[in-house]
Structure 1
Amino acid sequence: MSWDEWEQLKADAASRGTTRMRLNRTSSAENGGDAAGGLKSDKKAWTKAGEDTKGLQDGLGKALGKLADGQSGPGDTTGCRSAAAQKELYDSWKKYVGDVNGRCGKLGGLLERAGHDLAMTDGDVKAELDKIKAEYHDTVAVGGQAKDR
């Protein structure tokens, strides 16, 4: 293909009025962007989500306290299978509720930081979420499984 043919192909394509692709913003305000078509984020919404998520820790802390109060009686569980099973269940729930409490704190903090700064990239937020997910993986079910029987 000669240079003239290439120039003619480019001119033909330009004259057809091809649409341009815009990857850095939405196409209109109806899609959640502003009137100019840009993306929009609300710092207050991010911060409120973070505060509310961290606020769950109050109720979880109370639940952990009540769980500990309810467990205070049994003492030594050797020789009593039902007491040993109850202790195992308590330990499992104590760990699980403690992990949920920790997860709420870390996730809430991340949401608050993202809201205050709005400087974190999507990749940074995803990386932080992945760290939280790796640290607080769900516990394996305990009840109903045969153990050494």
Structure 2
Amino acid sequence: MSWDEWEQIKADVAARESTGMRLNQHPAGQDGSGSSLTDGLRSSKKAWLKAGEGVGSLRKGVSTALTQLEEGQSGLGAPSGCLSAEAQRSVFSSWKRYTRAVSGRCGSLQEVLEKVGHEQLKTDESVRAEVESLKLAYQDTEAVGGSGAGKGR
């Protein structure tokens, strides 16, 4: 895969992200109704389902990018002593693992959002528990180079 192809893939993904996703929420009623999880806001089933759909589209985009990345690697062959080929294979392997993890995370979050939309998770506590389990299952690692604390910015 040439550098220009990689830049084009990144530009395509960035263009898709620019459309964004909106959740249509309404303020809590005068009677104090509304969810403590949403800080006093009420939302519709449609909003939760739309959020799940949006996360699902992110998953599809990640899968498409991974497919394109794999296709670009197909002619590389065995590195056999070529340092740049070995480095490229290592980077590809790392990104393949990463994109699969992102896809899995999107799928899990999509499932939770859709359960809320279909009222299978009816209480704030059940929603909070599902989100916490996702946080534990997909806990991020520290950024390379540390947290950046103490650097002059």
TM-score (norm 1): 0.65
Distance 1:133-1:78 versus aligned 2 partners, 3 A rule: farther
Structure 2 distance, partners of 1:139, 1:119, is 29
Structure 2 distance, partners of 1:83, 1:138, is 29
What residue in structure 2 maps to residue 32 of structure 1?
Answer: 27
Structure 1 distance, partners of 2:107, 2:69, is 20
1:111: how far off?
Answer: 0.6
Task: State the number of aligned residues.
Answer: 112
Structure 2 distance, partners of 1:86, 1:119, is 44
- Which of 28, 43, 66 is the aligned partner of 1:64? 66
What RMSD over aligned residues (CA atoms) do the two structures have, in Å?
2.3
What residue in structure 2 maps to residue 106 of structure 1?
Answer: 108
1:139: how far off?
Answer: 5.7
Distance 1:91-1:137 versus aligned 2 partners, 3 A rule: farther
Distance 1:86-1:34 versus aligned 2 partners, 3 A rule: same
Letter of the 2:28 counterpart: G
List alignment gaps of at least 5 residues for structure 2: 1-25, 35-41, 145-153
Moved more, 125-134 or 91-100: 125-134
Structure 1 distance, partners of 2:81, 2:115, is 51
Q: Secondary structure at the match of 2:43?
A: coil
Mapping 1:13-52, distance limit 5 Å: 32-39=27-34, 40-52=42-54
Aligned residues of 2:52 and 2:114 also touching (Cα < 8 A):
yes
Letter of the 2:132 counterpart: D
- Which of 125, 141, 145 is the aligned partner of 1:123? 125
1:141: how far off?
Answer: 6.5
Aligned residues of 2:45 and 2:117 also touching (Cα < 8 A):
yes
Structure 2 distance, partners of 1:53, 1:95, is 19
Structure 1 distance, partners of 2:51, 2:80, is 46
What residue in structure 1 maps to residue 7 of structure 2?
Answer: none
Q: Secondary structure at the match of 2:80?
A: coil
Aligned residues of 1:54 and 1:104 also touching (Cα < 8 A):
yes
Aligned residues of 1:96 and 1:139 also touching (Cα < 8 A):
no
Structure 2 distance, partners of 1:79, 1:99, is 30
Distance 1:32-1:69 versus aligned 2 partners, 3 A rule: same
Distance 1:140-1:70 versus aligned 2 partners, 3 A rule: farther
